Each structure stands twice: as C-alpha cells, then as structure tokens.
Structure 1
Amino acid sequence: MASSSKSRGPYDVFLSFRGIDVRRNFVGHLYTALIQDGIRTFRDSEELWKGDKISMLMQAIEESRIAIIIFSENYASSWWCLEELAKIMECKEQNDLIILLFYKVDPKEVRGGRASYARDLAKHESKHSEKMERWKTGLSDAGNLIGWTLNDG
C-alpha cells in the first residue's frame, strides 16, 4: 500500500526530541506554530513518559505521516529517545516524510557515534544491551539522511 493512501491517525506530525535540551524553547515554538497552522502534532509531555503509555507513543509514531527528529546534545542520553528513533526509522517506509534537525549538534556526531553520543550509548550498554544494535542502526541510518543544522535557539 502506498504511503499516500495510508489511513490517517490522530496526528499528522510526530516530534521526537530530548526535553531537557529543547522542550521549553525550540520545540515549544515549533509545536505552537504547527498547531496554529492546523497541523495535528504529537509532542510527548513530561508526565507521559513517566506513566505507562509506551504503546500510545509507538502507535502515534506508526500513524503519523511526518516525523520530525530534533537531535540535540543530550538526545542519546535518553533511552526513550533512542527507542523513538529506532521505531521512526523502522517505519520510514510508511511515513511520508522524516525531517531531521540537528540542534546545536554536528550530524557527524549522530552518524558516527562520536563524542557525547558515544559516551551516552556506552552508558546505556549495561541496562539495555539487547537494544543497542537497533539504536545504533537507527542513529546511523538517520545520520545518513539529509537534514538541517540549527546553531541558534
């Protein structure tokens, strides 16, 4: 089935981001602009990830036509961001579009697992070893897509 004929879920856009880096500034402004333009946008809340709503997030990723991934300095420090990323990349054939934004981070760092991303992945190894290959593949695949680098807030 072609992606353009995919049944629409409740969201047009899924935002994947690390809250401590961008929730209150860049993502807050982006989300507001999308909503004001009538674009149904999923943005996780701080309460959501603390709860037991993981399946809701996965469903939102699957049903969104567009995924916007905002890579930032601490993105890879969150195992949940890595889980979202892996799911988005697995669903890339279903999604109409994946937009990558590198917010104050070099795309080479994401793609090659250098510097802070390599450190963060190493920290996850002991608790999430069974997921590491999937996460590394997601980072590598995403890092090889064309995106935009944003160095200002």
Structure 2
Amino acid sequence: MASSLEPKKIYDVFLSFRGVDLRNNFIGHLYQALHRDEVYTFRDSEELKKGDQISPVLMNAIEESCIAIIVFSEDYASSRWCLEELAKIIECKEQKNLIVLPVFYKVDPREVRGGRKSYQRSLARHEFKLGKDSEKVKRYKKALSDAGNLSGWHLNDG
C-alpha cells in the first residue's frame, strides 16, 4: 500500500550539466545514445517550454526522475542553477532514493568534493555574492562534497 503514495516517476534520467561547456558535444552524444535506447531523458533544451518558469520545472523533473546523471565539468560550479540542481538531486538521493551517477568530465573528483581549483574559485564568487555564512553556499558545498564522494566515471578525453 505504501507504493501507491509514492509519486509516479516520469523520466528515466535527469541530466545535470553546465550547458555552455558540454551541450553540443558530450551531452549531445550521451542524450542521443539514451534516446536511441528509448531511455526517457530530461534535458533542459528538450523539455523546457518557452514561457516555463525554469526553477520549478527543473526541481519537479528531478523529483520525477529515477536516475540523475551529473556531468561535472570545469565550470559546473560557476552556475548557481547547476548548484541548485545538484542540491536538489542530493536531497532526492537521501529522501527519495534517487540513483545518482556522477561523470567527472575533464575534472578530478577531488576538485569537486574538496572545492579545489575552478570549484574553489566559483565557490568564492558565490560566497562573495551571497555571504560567506549563507545557507545556500553551505548547501552547495555539502552537495558538492557528497556528490564528489560517489563512485562515478572520470573522463579526460573523448
């Protein structure tokens, strides 16, 4: 009877990535491979409709997914949208058993979980804008640490 209370999952996979970095290469190939195998995948450029409010649509899509694939790239943490998605993904992992699969694309997992290199610079900019003790920045750091500690794929080339 408990299963009838769980919300229905609409998407097989939710893709989280920094669009500028990856949209037309790695993500494009990954999305096409998933689509070819009939894996229903949420990718913002495919699923967001003109006029939709971005944040509620993305947050609902995460909740309505079975799996989240997070593609960490050098500039992923520079985007507050990406960090908001990541925090929601980690929340759903902990509370709703969302399966989370990280891909470390030309970035070392230690950079993600430890806030090093480009991640450190990006977090410093967020701290400057939001305040060093901001709850959002604390959520971002925890989500990055949690995700960076997950077993995933480390891709340097191709």
What whole-Å deviation, never above 9, does each CA across 1:21-49 have from its counterpart, x for those lacking one? 11100000000111111111001129959
1:107-126 correspondence to structure 2 within 5 Å? 107-126=109-128
Q: Based on CA coordinates, which of the two structures has the bigger radius of gyration? A: 2
Matched, 1:148 2:149: no
Is the contact made by 2:92 and 2:98 (CA closer than 8 Å) also made in structure 1? no
Q: Give the TM-score, by structure 2 length.
A: 0.87
Number of the residue aligned with 1:42: 42
Structure 1 pair 46–33 and aligned structure 2 pair: CA distance change class (3 A):
closer
Report % sequence identity.
Answer: 64
Secondary structure of the structure 1 residue equivalent to 2:44: coil
Q: Which has the higher contact order (CA 8 A, sep 6+)?
A: 1
| Larger mean Cα displacement after TM superposition, 118-127 or 20-29 | 118-127
Quote the Cα distance in structure 2 between the aligned partners of 1:95 and 1:18: 24
| Larger mean Cα displacement after TM superposition, 98-107 or 119-128 | 119-128
Number of the residue aligned with 2:84: 83
Is the contact made by 1:66 and 1:95 (CA closer than 8 Å) also made in structure 2? no
1:8-27 correspondence to structure 2 within 5 Å? 8-27=8-27
TM-superposed CA distance for 1:79, in Å, is 0.5
What's the Cα RMSD here? 2.3
Q: Would you say how many aligned residue pairs link Structure 1 and Structure 2?
A: 151
Secondary structure of the structure 2 residue equivalent to 1:152: coil
